[in-house]
């Protein structure tokens, strides 16, 4: 019953935000790099932040530093959605918020000083990879569900994090799905950076809690599909000498949705299915030993990387043809 209340409250808050966004013209206009062709409300992903606030109010603010960090990074991202901010400002906010999350996770003490720099790079880097992957309808919410549901299953037996936080986040994602998990041209809103960065911060905090309790970093396998697509696309763009801060359409999922015309919902479901299979295999098939976990993690990484490279070798030329057509239009 409590989660029905959370759903209703978040649904009302989302609808209120739509009125505010419409009133103040908080919108996303399409351009040649976009995977959409109509003007859509931006920032609907603020509901993920709202979900954690509602959870905190109902369950007594158990993670105050995490809440402050999430509010900081989502707030700066929301401002960036409205008026573009310098990269330095966004990164400073992300590093500061990550330190707050680390304080909550118990990493910030002298005996673990060596973990902090590496963990900061991983936390902030993964946050931005997840943000980069938010490019078609439904993918941010759908992929988040493919992470959160297996996490809820494994957490039910071990209580690595409060199950109420995991379930409340799932509810917030489902509310967002009502308005975004739709075919191209049908979305009522986009997540915006406030949503993609916000949900990334939440997912990484939850997985960070599991890693700290188990001492096993291979739980990052729950983000492996995004990790492979995001990281290999960054490597590809570096090889092409591109500005990594510039918008693009070179991710595998973008080529599927745009050049191959598979449709936003189909591509999202494919990524959800892949990540769900990887995560559930890790939970139910892989032996619960450090060696088995690492073999599974590395093996799954290799298989996904090979699939990415094969896909790009076969279909990337379609994106080059698209870019060539844009250049001809500008002449």
pLDDT in tens, 236-246: 999 999 988 78
**pLDDT over threshold 90, residue 247:** no
Mean per-residue pLDDT for 204-215? 96
- Which residue, 54, 253, 44, 49, is CA-closest to 143? 253
How deeply is 125 buried, as exposed, middle or buried, from its count of CB atoms within 10 A (0-12, 13-18, 19+)?
Answer: middle
Mean per-residue pLDDT for 217-223? 98
Going by pLDDT thresholds of 50, 70 and 90, the confidence category of residue 1 is confident
Please, are residues 255 and 319 in contact by the beta-carbon 8 Å criterion?
yes
**Token representation of residue 216:** 């096993």
- Residue 233: left if φ>0, alpha if ψ -120 to 50, beta else—which one? alpha
Calculate what percentage of the chain has a pLDDT beyond 70: 98
Please, are residues 190 and 41 in contact by the beta-carbon 8 Å criterion?
yes
pLDDT value of position 208: 97
Distance CA 257, CA 271 (A): 12
Distance CA 188, CA 38 (A): 10
Mean per-residue pLDDT for 94-100? 97
Supply the mean pLDDT for the chain.
94
pLDDT value of position 310: 98
Give 207's contacts (C-beta < 8 A, 6+ positions apart).
151, 219, 220, 222, 223
Distance CA 248, CA 254 (A): 9
Going by pLDDT thresholds of 50, 70 and 90, the confidence category of residue 148 is very high
pLDDT value of position 34: 58
3-state secondary structure of 281: helix
The tens digit of pLDDT for each residue in 156-186 reads 989 999 999 999 999 999 999 999 999 988 9
What residues form DSSP beta bridges with 27? Answer: 41
Going by pLDDT thresholds of 50, 70 and 90, the confidence category of residue 331 is low
The tens digit of pLDDT for each residue in 261-312 reads 999 999 999 999 999 999 999 999 999 999 999 999 999 999 999 999 999 9
3-state secondary structure of 247: coil
Please, are residues 239 and 250 in contact by the beta-carbon 8 Å criterion?
no
Give 136's contacts (C-beta < 8 A, 6+ positions apart).
35, 36, 184, 253, 254, 257, 264, 267, 268
Please, are residues 146 and 189 in contact by the beta-carbon 8 Å criterion?
no
Distance CA 101, CA 67 (A): 8
pLDDT value of position 29: 76
Phi, then psi, of 244 in degrees rounded to 5: -65, -20
């Amino acid at each position: 019953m409590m989660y029905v209340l959370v759903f209703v409250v978040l649904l009302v808050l989302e609808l209120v935000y739509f009125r505010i966004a419409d009133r103040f013209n908080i919108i996303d206009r399409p351009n040649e790099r976009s995977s959409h062709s109509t003007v859509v409300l931006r920032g609907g992903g603020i509901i993920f932040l709202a979900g954690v606030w509602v959870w905190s109010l109902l369950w007594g603010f158990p993670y105050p530093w995490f809440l402050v960090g999430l509010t900081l990074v989502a707030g700066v991202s929301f401002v960036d959605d409205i008026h573009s901010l310098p990269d330095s400002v966004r990164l400073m906010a992300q590093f500061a918020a990550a330190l707050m999350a680390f304080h909550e996770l118990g990493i910030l003490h002298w005996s673990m000083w060596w973990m902090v720099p590496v963990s900061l790079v991983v936390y902030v880097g993964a946050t931005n990879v997840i943000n980069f992957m938010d490019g078609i309808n439904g993918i941010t919410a759908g992929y988040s569900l493919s992470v959160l549901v297996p996490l809820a299953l494994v957490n039910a037996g071990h209580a690595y994090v409060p199950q109420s936080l995991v379930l409340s986040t799932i509810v917030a994602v489902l509310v967002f799905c009502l308005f975004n998990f739709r075919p191209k041209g049908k979305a009522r809103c986009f997540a915006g950076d406030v949503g993609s960065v916000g949900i990334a911060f939440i997912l990484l905090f939850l997985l960070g809690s599991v890693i700290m309790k188990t001492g096993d970093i291979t739980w990052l396998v729950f983000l492996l599909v995004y990790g492979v697509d995001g990281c290999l696309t960054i490597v590809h763009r570096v090889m092409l000498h591109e500005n990594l801060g510039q918008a693009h359409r070179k991710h595998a999922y973008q080529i599927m949705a745009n050049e191959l015309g598979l449709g936003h919902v189909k591509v999202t479901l494919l990524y959800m299915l892949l990540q769900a299979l990887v995560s559930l295999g890790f939970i139910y098939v892989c032996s619960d030993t450090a060696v088995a976990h690492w073999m599974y993690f590395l093996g799954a990484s290799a298989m996904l990387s090979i699939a990415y490279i094969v896909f790009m070798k076969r279909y990337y030329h379609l994106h080059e043809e698209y870019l060539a057509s844009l250049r001809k239009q500008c002449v």
